[in-house]
Amino acid sequence: MNFKFAHNNYNVFDLEKSLAFYEEALGLKETRRITPESGEFIIVYLGDGSTNHLLELTWLRDWDRPYNLGDNEIHLAFKVDDFDAAKEKHKQMNCICYENPTMGIYFINDPDGYWLEVIPTR
């Protein structure tokens, strides 16, 4: 058997706000969408255009409150070729939630509070 990553999922409270954030902050673009006739959920897959890994955002019509992320130790990591420019952009977006200068990384928050690690390409 040979297992390969397909995608990660985050449930989101405001799909349009999340889509705008992921495109602006990380350059992720919608690759496909699942919208059943019932309208009970929408699933949107986002890709970076250079790998096969996808981020699945799931919106649930009947979910009426922000998601409780607990201690939020779960995160996705993104490598970036221009770390300083990325960090400046995220400072301007006011979404940096944690910095670790010793390790040379930082984290940003998406609109639902999920953490996204940004690391330089080494």
Residue 113 belongs to domain with CATH number: 3.10.180.10
Q: What is the mean pLDDT of residues 94-115?
A: 96
* pLDDT for 3: 72
Tell me the one-letter amino acid at 62: D
Number of domains in the chain: 1
Q: What is the pTM of this model?
A: 0.91
Residue 13 lies in a domain: yes
Residues with a known catalytic role? 117
- pLDDT tens for 14-37 read 999 999 999 999 999 999 999 999
DSSP annotation of 106: E
Structural domain for 78, as ranges: 7-63+74-120
DSSP character for 26? H
Q: Which of 60, 55, 70, 76 is nearest to 119 (CA)?
A: 76
Mean pLDDT of the chain: 94
Which residue carries 């790998």 as its tokens?
Answer: 51
Does some domain include residue 19? yes
Other CB atoms within 10 Å distance of the CB of residue 33: 11
Mean pLDDT of all residues in 64-90: 91
Furthest C-alpha separation in the chain: 50
**2 in a structural domain:** no
Domain membership of residue 87 (yes or no) is yes
